[in-house]
Structure 1
Amino acid sequence: MKRLSYLLMLMMVLTACNDQHKNEEIADNTVKEPAAPVVEEYGFIFNDYEVVRDTIRSGDTFGIILGTHGVDPGKIFEIVEKSRDTFNPRKMRTGKPYVILKDRDSAKTPKAFIYENDLVNYTVVDIKDTINAYTAKKPVTISKRTVAGVINSNLSETMQEEGLSNLLALEMSNIYQWSIDFFRLQKGDRFKLVYHERYINDSIYAGIESIEAAVFYHQDKPYYAFNFMVDSVAGGRDYYDEKARPLQSFFLKAPLDFFRISSRFSPNRFHPVQKRWKAHKGTDYAAAHGTPIKSTANGVIIASSYTAGNGNYVKVKHNDTYTTQYLHMSKRAVKQGQRVKQGDIIGYVGSTGLATGPHVCYRFWKNGVQVDPFRQNLPSAEPIEEKYIPSYFAAIEPLKAELGNIEFKEI
């Protein structure tokens, strides 16, 4: 009997130990929920709010958006009044993203409205206890890249083949606009670049920061370009070649970025409107209606007016030698007496006056005589000051070596 009691007690002890072991296993295998990662954007901890992301749609207004989320009209009026110096709701554009941060309680009261002005800049309308509006920037990092390309047809297609942004093609055309005609590139022309790109939060591409160095082989002739600061006080930078000569010319090659020359300077041309032969003392650049027209050099506006023949026109005096005029504008953007810099927008392409279609007639005077700008030996821009020459050559030496180490892909 005693032996049977002992066996029963032993079995009970073993069973209890086994149950305890199982309980310990269950406890050990319990998976704890990981803490939610902290999400911080626009200077707010998003974990603390209910986050609503959306984009401005056609017909949306600031009042409609906030009203949809429970803000009463009186509060909306107060918000607009107190933030008007920083945020203008009328300038919100269709397609732009916005974020509303709301309380997590049952009332879900909006606490902030965030509007993205562009990829980098945003405006916060803080509508907590104290209404406050301010602008800020997303964290941007700069990444350095090197690239080489060979032209098969045109620069834009080559950029696409290399997986590069067409913004890079535009930057290059701006740099070389005085020395290379990008409409006349030849198959086999090639280029190398050292440049910097902007990225938001290290991942979202935000455009070209700057091209530091470039060499473009056009018809087997190398055209170097190095970015150099010539005014440390104002932060002015320009591009110069391997001999410290400015790439920029006193004049732009054309008053438009994208165009087609529809009629050149001629002593005898059949006028399409007047239906008679006469001298055409200008160059016609055909482009879409509304295309921006740029001043081809620094100067002062000496006329901004309208005549039956010229339509809306602007005339710029650059110095005692050179004057230019821009005809048939749809709209003028400058006034008489105003100073302009090379590349400033002075009007927009139209067909006012004696014109059969949208274009700008570009007229050019030298010493008071109208001439063909394509036949002139035009001056260059200001050279680097002599005192900066040694530091320029020291700065470009490693960049030139870096360009030399970039290899072209085999075609």
Structure 2
Amino acid sequence: MSITLTRLPKLHKVSIAFISVIITITLFSLPDFDDLTRNQPKLEVGKIYPLEMTNEFLQSKAPSKNWLQWQLHTIQSGESASVLFSRIGLPAKLLHQLITSDTDIKTQLSRLRPGDILNFGFNQNDQLIELIRPLSAYQSFHIYKQGDVFTSKIESKNIDIQYNYTQAIITSNFWNAASNSGLTPNQIMSLAGIFGWDIDFALDLRAGDHFEVLYEDRFIEGRNIGQGNIISAVFTSQGSTFKAILNPKDGNYYDEDGRAMKKAFLRSPIDFRRVTSNFNPTRRHPVTGKIVAHRGTDYAAPVGTPIWAAGDGVVEKSGYNQFNGNYVFIRHSNTYITKYLHMKKRSVNTGQRVKQGDTVGTLGGTGRVTGPHLHYEFLVNGIHKNPRTVNLPQSKSLTGQDKSNFIALAQQNLAQLKRYNHLLIAKE
């Protein structure tokens, strides 16, 4: 090897410093420069001189073998782990080794569904060293080879939470207003669920009602992975305002005074939909034409729509007759009974215990009706009450120090929601 010395033009001090850094970095592995130049003749510019290099410098180190070649495979319809391994040319013996090394590996590889992704990592000898199954945007199941066996663990990425705010005034219906405000379908249903013990979303909402929502935006490594929990919300319907704040300690929602939003009964036993007739004690019967008491509420929805138990209780009667069609009566205590009429089919039996939200049947048009709908009745001590306005018993609310801590948090979150509202108004 030889080098040629070339005279450099006059450079700025910064440039010279920069060059010296480059030289230092480039020659870091050479022997000491003084050792190289000691007892050497004076070098002349423009002349070529041989340069002897040590064997240690000339013999390049072998590249690191700590690398993997990755192959991404998607589970196809009807495929199991064994079918996938066969399709991509991996031996059944390897799959047996995987599932017998670790119980969690066996569980994960037995739960594969079409569309799931497996990422195989092979070394330079085409041996499987690592296998990754993404579980969500922030979690993945990792399999590692250690010696002759495989081990596994779930790895999670840090999720950064930021708060976001939206509000809307209802003009046509709640769903459109919420969707146009930027809420996801899951958040819309969550919002309806939070206030579903105070507002019948099928009957109570009017044009001009409005809501405000403070919710989570979730980020991983700066990338938005979707919206999260509703932190606090205010809903005003027909002049009444309801406030709900998430308690992170138990995951439930309470009002600003620590009273549980959840009540013993749902206001509506069905997803909010179009309603054919309201609560009306002097309503004309659609079949006979006679004015008779219509002690309940009718909900129109597609045939087959699930009907929920409004509260916990025991099925007092599940049967059929020519007037009620398929019907279910639920006794919730010595005080409360709910009735569900004209169902297409019943999903519970007499004497069966049910929980709030359990499906008791599906909407239909059996019995004396002019069209498919659910007729729902709410009785208190044997007297029919309007389920939309009757006072409902509360679930357990916060007490003691838990209540004090929550009220402080609620005031903070509601104040933050108010600040967002003021900022939005200021921008307009």
TM-score, normalised on structure 1? 0.67
On the 8 A contact 1:140/1:202 being kept in 2, the answer is: no
Q: How many residues align?
A: 361
TM-fit CA distance, 1:256: 1.9
1:87 is aligned to 2:103: no
- 8 Å CA contact 1:143–1:196 kept in 2: the answer is yes
1:144 to 162, 186, 190: 162
- Using a 3 Å threshold, how does the CA distance of structure 1 residues 263 and 223 change in structure 2: closer, same or farther? closer
Q: 1:16 aligned to 47, 50, 65, which one?
A: 47
Q: Partners of 1:195 and 1:114 in 2: how far apart? A: 30
| 1:192 aligned residue | 212
Cα distance change on mapping 1:112 and 1:187 into 2, 3 Å: same
The 5-angstrom pairing of residues 124-273 of structure 1 reads 129-130=148-149, 136=154, 138-151=156-169, 153=171, 154-180=173-199, 182=201, 185=205, 189-211=209-231, 213-218=232-237, 222-228=241-247, 235=250, 237-241=252-256, 243-263=257-277, 269-271=285-287
| Among 26, 47, 72, the residue aligned to 1:53 | 72
The CA distance in 1 between the partners of 2:379 and 2:266, in whole Å, is 15
More strand by share: 1
Alignment map for 1:9-408 (pairs within 5 Å): 14-16=45-47, 48-73=67-92, 76=95, 83=103, 87=107, 91-95=111-115, 97-105=116-124, 107=126, 109=128, 111-112=130-131, 114=133, 116=135, 118-120=136-138, 122-123=140-141, 129-130=148-149, 136=154, 138-151=156-169, 153=171, 154-180=173-199, 182=201, 185=205, 189-211=209-231, 213-218=232-237, 222-228=241-247, 235=250, 237-241=252-256, 243-263=257-277, 269-271=285-287, 282-297=296-311, 299-303=312-316, 305-307=318-320, 314-327=328-341, 328=343, 330=345, 332=347, 336-338=351-353, 340=355, 342=356, 344-347=357-360, 349-351=362-364, 353-354=366-367, 359-374=373-388, 376-385=390-399, 389-406=403-420, 407=422, 408=424
Give the Å deviation of 1:151: 1.8
Matched residue type, 2:89: G
SS in 2 for 1:67: helix
In the aligned structure 2, how far is the partner of 1:133 from the partner of 1:360?
51
Q: Alignment partner of 1:373: what SS?
A: coil
Deviates more, 1:300-309 or 1:275-284: 275-284
Residue 322 of structure 1: how far off its partner (Å): 0.5
Alpha-carbon distance in structure 2 between the residues aligned to 1:247 and 1:159: 20
CA distance in 2: counterparts of 1:49 and 1:380, whole angstroms: 59
Q: After alignment, is 136-145 or 305-314 more displaced? A: 305-314
Structure 1 runs not aligned, ≥5 long? 1-11, 21-34, 37-46
Which residue pairs with 2:29 in the alignment?
none
SS class of match (2:377) = strand
| Structure number, greater radius of gyration | 2
- Mapped to 1, the partners of 2:274 and 2:106 lie a distance apart of 42
In 2, Cα distance between equivalents of 1:252 and 1:108 = 58
Q: TM-score, normalised by structure 2?
A: 0.65
**Deviation per residue, 1:322-353 (Å, 9 max, x gap):** 0223452556278944352x3x3234524385
8 A contact 1:287–1:349 mirrored in 2? no
Q: 1:252 to 1:58 in 2, by over 3 A?
A: same
Per-residue deviation, 1:240: 1.0
Pick which of 140-149 and 354-363 moved more. 354-363
Secondary structure of 2:117's aligned partner: strand
The answer as to whether partners of 1:152 and 1:188 remain within 8 angstroms in 2 is yes
Alignment identity in percent? 23
Which one-letter code corresponds to 2:408 in the other structure?
A
Give me the whole-angstrom Cα distance separating, in 2, the residues matched to 1:395 and 1:94.
43
